[in-house]
Amino acid sequence: MLGLAILLSRIFEATLGTGTMRSRALVIPFVEEILKLAPVAWMLWRQRRGGAQVLGICDVLLFAAACGAGFGFVEDSFIRHHIGWPGSLAWLPTSEIVGGRHGAHLIAGHGTWTGLAGLTLGVALLLRRPRPAMSLIAVSGCIWAVLDHAGNNYGNSFRDALSTTLRFATGNGWLTAHLFLVGIVAAIAVDFCVVRAAVSNFPETRRPRGPLSWAQARALWKFLRLQRQFAYAVARYQREVGLARSRLAAFAAGLDAVLVNLHIRNTTADATMPFANTP
């Protein structure tokens, strides 16, 4: 994705000339944010009738943050190769605080920008309806990431009314960090509530006793994964209509059958050895 972003940047410069640096500072962030999110969107689209139906908000957030962090890591390597090393050394893709006469400015970084886009996308995919509102929520994170990214790139090179406006709108970069942290807490809370609701309504999703051996620990981990998948499928089923609802019903029923089978195996095993017969 970084290679494609560099290629598009070169095409932009060759087409419009190097005199359009102001436009480039605004256009390239938009291109990069779309490219970073593209692998996540492609995966979700490919798995729209399968694995994507059992993903929580945190799952999509982690996918997106990983793509963004990887992009940032390769970009940083590219920059260091051509420009050299600064006075400090960052071993991981991180945010960066830059001081200046306009106050401390936070560069959220690619991992945070794309993670925020994945967060809102995950919310929309889980809540489903109403469609117009969910569509707006789905793209809101990416729009904000573009705004903050463009404000950072433009403000680093130019000092005018637009850079002042962008810095003010994004809280000098700090608002992105606050939104991301609040979003992470909210995502964890929503995912917890979804699983909790399933456990309350479906006895087969209740966690068995703790493991007594490594094999039982692996079996318990498998059960917890199935529990979460079933919970997310049920949550989507409850908010869907028509053919999509029927497909989710069949999908959730398949997961439920596996959970029931695991519980039967557990109850027929020795009372002191939960999951003893679980493969």
Written as one string, the DSSP assignment of 65-101 is HHHHHHHHHHHHHHHHHHH---SS--SS---EEE--T
pLDDT interval class at 95 (50, 70, 90): confident
Between CA 25 and CA 103 the distance in angstroms is: 21
Percent of the chain with pLDDT over 70: 86
The more confidently predicted of residues 244 and 145 is 145
Q: Kindly state the DSSP code that residue 211 receives in the 8-state scheme.
A: P
What are 191-243's pLDDT values in tens digits? Answer: 999 888 887 877 777 776 666 677 777 777 888 888 888 888 888 887 877 77
The pTM of this model reads 0.81
Q: Where on the phi/psi map is residue 173: left (φ > 0), alpha (ψ -120 to 50), or beta?
A: left
What are 122-173's pLDDT values in tens digits? Answer: 999 888 888 888 899 999 999 999 999 998 888 877 888 888 888 888 888 8
What are 164-189's pLDDT values in tens digits? Answer: 888 888 888 899 999 999 999 999 99
Q: Is the pLDDT of residue 274 over 50?
A: no
Distances (CA, A) of 21 to 17, 87, 97, 260: 9, 27, 24, 61
Distances (CA, A) of 166 to 48, 154, 162, 266: 36, 9, 6, 58
**Listed residue (162, 173, 159) closest to 109, CA to CA:** 173
